[in-house]
Structures are given as structure tokens and as C-alpha cells.
Chains A and B, each alone.
Chain A
């Protein structure tokens, strides 16, 4: 049988190795699903919370308690005056009503539940006192797929997975091969070094296919998630992300001799992105001063582009800056890695 092209052999070998390593498969496929299940449960859509209100005992308090209890959505307690301060401070109630005439509302205006309770309680008491509403607006509750936390989360988890998969899958594997002297053995052959590095990256980009499929099918089955944009664009962005992060993984692994060293380096590179790049919450929450830095991070670009396609149905043309950022990270880091790579 004639030999196949060295790139093909290197690539198939690498895919086989990954496929035959159960731990690797767990970190790539099992871990993100468990994370999504956990967070999905924590942030599932619950019925709206009841508003907790306390009414201070005294003349007229019984009437106020009764009026409020007659309305849905309130949890009303009658308490002694000395308990009022503690209940507010401990957050047991959002509002304390002193049943004087006119009534007095005690609440913390910086607490959203305090403000909400004040508005709702005041409405009920005003109507009970005879106020007539001039408008009768119609309420239309919205809770459709696309706007929930889990919809925000899944593209972020996919991005995070592409990052850690690329970094670990390439960086760790390269350093391990170096410490086993396998890299040295390979450069003692006529193998082209670019073939080797390209095969490593290609194997990673292949794996990403399965990762996207898994996350999206999981999101669809369990959380009724929908992809508003084109699936092909999601695939394109994910593969581009895999390219970007395998370049970065290669760069981190360029000189390291021990797997401990490279693990530390990778965490150093990935930690800021876990925090800043909008995996679990939007990166817009960070101050404007650091936004240019946050936006230039490859994971921010990947997460934001994935969300734009998945949640908003945007096309690739609208994401050209983010695509450019990902491409630049991948190209610059792989060129640098190839230049300074330590083979033995």
C-alpha cells in the first residue's frame, strides 16, 4: 500500500488519539453539557416572585393587611413596631407599611424589590381608598425562546468550550509530546514542521463540528432553544474560533518543557477571558475604559458573533470586525509559534 500524504497521516493519527482518550472526550463533550444543565436549572423560568410586605401592628393595621391579602402576588405579615427595622435590613420584606392616615411607606430606594413593592402596595391602597384608573392597559406576558438566560448562556458556553478545547487540545498535547521526546523523534525524520502544526490545528477544527452539534441539539431538546441565524454561519464562526484558539494554544506551548508549566500559562491566558469575555453575563457590564481591550479579546469576538447569529439572526457581513479579530489572533499566534517553536 502506498503511503498517504504526511499531512493526512498526521491528521488521522491525531484524531484517533483524541477519539481513544475517554478523559479528553469528557472535557470536550460531557463537561459543557453538565454546565448547561446546572445553570439551566439555576436560572429556569419561575413564576414571578411574591412581594413580601410587613404591616406594623396598630390602629387600622388589620384593615390594611386584609386589603393587601385580597390581591394576588402579595405575602403580607403583621409585625410589632420594633421588628420593622430588622425585617427591612435582613431583606425579609421589601416594604414596611405604617397604617397611619395617610399611610407611611418605609423602604430602601436602592433595592429594586423595595421600589416595586412601594408601587404595587400604593396602587392597591389608593384603589381601596376609592381611586379610579383612567386607562385599562392590556398585559401581554412574553416568555418565548430567544430572550431567556439559557438562550444567552448556550452560545457563551459554546465559545468557552471552543477556547478551552483549543488551548488544552493543542497546547497540552504539544507539551506532552515534547516531554515524551516524540517531537524530537519527529524532527529526526524528513517530516515538514508545517505539516505537523497544520495537522494539529485541523484535528481541533474537526472536533469543533461535534461540539457545536452537541451543544445546539442539547439546547434544542432540553431548553427549546432556536438558532435564528444560519446554521452554516454558526459552523463557520466556530471553526474560525477553533483556528484562533489552537493558534493561541500553540503559542503558549512554544517553549514549555513540562505539562505543569503549560497548564499554568494556559490558565493565565484563559482566566481573563472567562471573566471579561461575556460567557455568563454580557461583557458590556465592564467600564468603558477597558472596553477596547475587552472587545479585542478573541473570546469576546467569538461569543458576541455567535450570539449575534444565534440570538439575533444576523449575517456574517455584520460581524466582519469580529471575524477579523479572530483571524488576526489565529494568524499572528501561529506564525509566532512556528518561528519560536522548541522541538527538543
Chain B
């Protein structure tokens, strides 16, 4: 199938006294119809990458083809076929939702009916409301509405749910799912792993301007070599020393050990094998258990395993 996005050797360096290398050699292939996520901490180069793909920034080096076209020659045709939301666009305060959408519709050669887009983004009741009176979630939905009004083949969403409450985030996910169901290609950036996990067919984990892992959420988690995390804490304030961690690492089925905020996390393949051994190990010591729980491994664990840092740490 044809690639919606094809990127080879992309680099972007911002000139200045201390030049910033925002993107350092990035390759991407996104087939048509896929929902693709760029996941990474703040400052990883996600937005720079997306803005280059959107034709808003020129790359320093690299080859970018969008829908088989390139920005240098087919700018207007491309603009008509893509939809874009930026981080934090503020639309005119004193125009209504409907007026804003009609304005954006007028730029496109085959715009969708405003009614349909209002319905799809849950803004029908707010159609007459001025932008200044919309909530954060409604403004974000208006941003998406303005991006899909031109019926784009390819939609870019830059941090679509950052700063939104849980309900607004779920509404946003529904909108993206509906788009994908209509066969459109979506590229979104996020630093929320649950968002990437729930929405995306494939994910590229980006750090320091490079793709450090690529695959479906399930593949990425499987690459950890273990599906589960056992997390426990002992009474008392003393953090465990190296010798103690080494002993934990020797417990059956444990792949890796790390500490976080006073708790100890074990990446394990089979919790039912590890937990009895862990309990026996704790019973031999002087400090009783303060807490114990297990959970499925997540993309967050993948990121931590790859970089030693958390997504939210930036």
C-alpha cells in the first residue's frame, strides 16, 4: 500500500549561538489508513518533526514525502489534502464555532458540510457560542473540527489531549477512532502512553530527536521480555542497597529491578512464580511489606527500560 508519510534521514538544527539539534536523523514510514503515534517526552523533537511534515518548517537535511508529494513542488495541493492541529492555537475569541468552521471550510476545494463536522466533534450545541466561552476540551475539539473540515486524507494532531480532563480526552479519542474508521491516515504526537496505547496501530518512541523504538503497542511491550510488573514497598524509610537489589534480581522469573519513589519494581515474566519467592525473601528480612501489587507492563515501562527516564520527566 502507498505510504502516506515517508521520511528519510530527517535532521533539523535550529541556528543560534548554541545550535539546537532538535531532530537527529529520523526515518518514518506510515502506510495509508494507519493511526501512527509519535510518543516521547517534552522536548524530544516531536513537534519539530510534525511541523516539518506539515510543511510549516523547512528541514535542515532529509527527504520528506507526504501522500507521494513533496512540499517544494506541491504545496497547495498538499495543503488541500492534509488537516492540521497545532499545539495551542487560539482561534478568534469573538467568532462563533460555526463561523470559525465556515471560514476554514472556505479554504478547501472539497470541504465537508459544517453540520456533519459539528456532529462528529460533539459541538452541535455550541455552534452559536463564541470561542471565548468554550471550555478547554471544546476548544480542542474545535481545533480538530477545523482540521477535518477539508476532508483530509492525512490528519496531523499535535498533543491533542494535553491539558484536558479525562472525559474530554475520551471524547477526543472517539473522534480519532471515527476518523480512522473512515480510512483516513492519522499521525498524532503525545506524551501520554495510555493515549498512544489505546489509539495507535503503531508507535515510534522518540527521544533526543531519534526513533528509539518502533512497533505496535503490543510488540513494544513484548520487547521488554516480560508482560508484568510487580511493585512492592517495605516499612521504613531506608532505601534498599545494591546488595539487596542484587538478591531480588536472582528471584525466579525476574528480568530487571529498579527503584522508584521508595518502591521497588520488578519486571517479571510469570508473577505466579515470582510472588511466592518474593514473599519468602521478605519474611527472612527484618522489615515487613508495606504494599504489594502487580500490573500489566505498559509503554511507560518500555520507555523507562530504553532510556532510564520517565516520559513525564521530559
Contact = CB atoms under 8 A, between A and B. Distances in A.
Contact of B108 (A10, A190, A344): A190
Nearest to B75: A190
Nearest to A19: B94
Contacts of B111: 3
A257 to B, nearest CB: 15
A189 B104 contact: yes
Interface in A181-196: 181-182, 184-185, 187-191
A261 interface: no
Contacts of B113: 1
Q: Which 7 A-B pairs have the closest CB atoms?
A: A180-B90, A9-B106, A20-B94, A190-B79, A188-B84, A189-B107, A191-B107
Contacts of A17: 92, 94-95
Contact of A189 (B88, B102, B130, B150): B150
Contacts of B280: none
Given A13-B95, A344-B56, A182 B89 contact: yes
A1 B112 CA distance: 10
Given A9-B102, A184-B86, 9 more contacts: A3-B106, A13-B92, A21-B94, A177-B92, A182-B92, A185-B91, A188-B79, A189-B107, A190-B80
A190 B109 contact: yes
B109 A181 contact: no
A188 B108 contact: no
Contacts of A20: 94, 130
Contacts of A187: 56
Interface residues of B, number: 30
A184 B89 contact: yes
Interface in B94-123: 94-95, 99, 102-109, 111, 113-114
A45 B99 CA distance: 51
A21 B130 CA distance: 12
Contact of A185 (B76, B89, B94): B89
Contacts of B95: 13, 16-17
B131 to A, nearest CB: 11
B105 A3 contact: yes
B91 A182 contact: yes
Interface of B: 54-56, 76, 79-80, 84, 86, 88-92, 94-95, 99, 102-109, 111, 113-114, 130, 146, 150
A6 B94 contact: no
B140 to A, nearest CB: 13
A189 B94 contact: no
A188 B94 contact: no
Given A16-B95, A187-B56, A188-B54, A10 B80 contact: no
Contacts of B99: 13, 16
Given A13-B95, A16-B99, A190-B76, A181 B88 contact: yes
Contacts of B150: 189-190
Contacts of A21: 94
A177 B114 CA distance: 24
29 contacts: A1-B114, A4-B102, A5-B106, A10-B106, A13-B99, A16-B95, A17-B94, A17-B95, A21-B94, A180-B89, A180-B90, A181-B90, A182-B90, A182-B91, A184-B86, A184-B89, A185-B86, A188-B55, A188-B56, A188-B79, A188-B86, A189-B84, A189-B107, A189-B108, A190-B76, A190-B108, A190-B150, A191-B107, A344-B56
Given A17-B94, A190-B80, A344-B56, A6 B89 contact: no
A9 B91 contact: no
Contacts of A181: 86, 88-90
Interface in A71-117: none
A191 B146 CA distance: 13
Contacts of A9: 102-103, 106
A21 B102 CA distance: 21
Nearest to B132: A20
Contacts of B103: 9-10, 13
Contacts of B107: 6, 189-191
Interface string A161-191: 0000000000000000100111011011111
Contacts of A180: 89-90
Nearest to B92: A17
A6 B104 CA distance: 8
Contacts of A184: 56, 86, 89
Nearest to B54: A188
A185 B84 contact: yes
A184 B90 CA distance: 11
A184 B76 CA distance: 15
Contacts of B56: 184, 187-188, 344
A189 B79 contact: yes
A42 B99 CA distance: 46
A31 B88 CA distance: 35
Contacts of B76: 190
A239 to B, nearest CB: 25
B111 to A, nearest CB: 5
A21 B92 CA distance: 11
Nearest to B91: A182
Nearest to A185: B89
Contacts of B130: 20
A185 B88 CA distance: 10
B98 to A, nearest CB: 11
Contacts of B114: 1
A6 B106 contact: yes
Contacts of A8: 106
A249 B267 CA distance: 62
Nearest to B57: A344
Contacts of B79: 188-190
Nearest to A180: B90
A249 B40 CA distance: 42
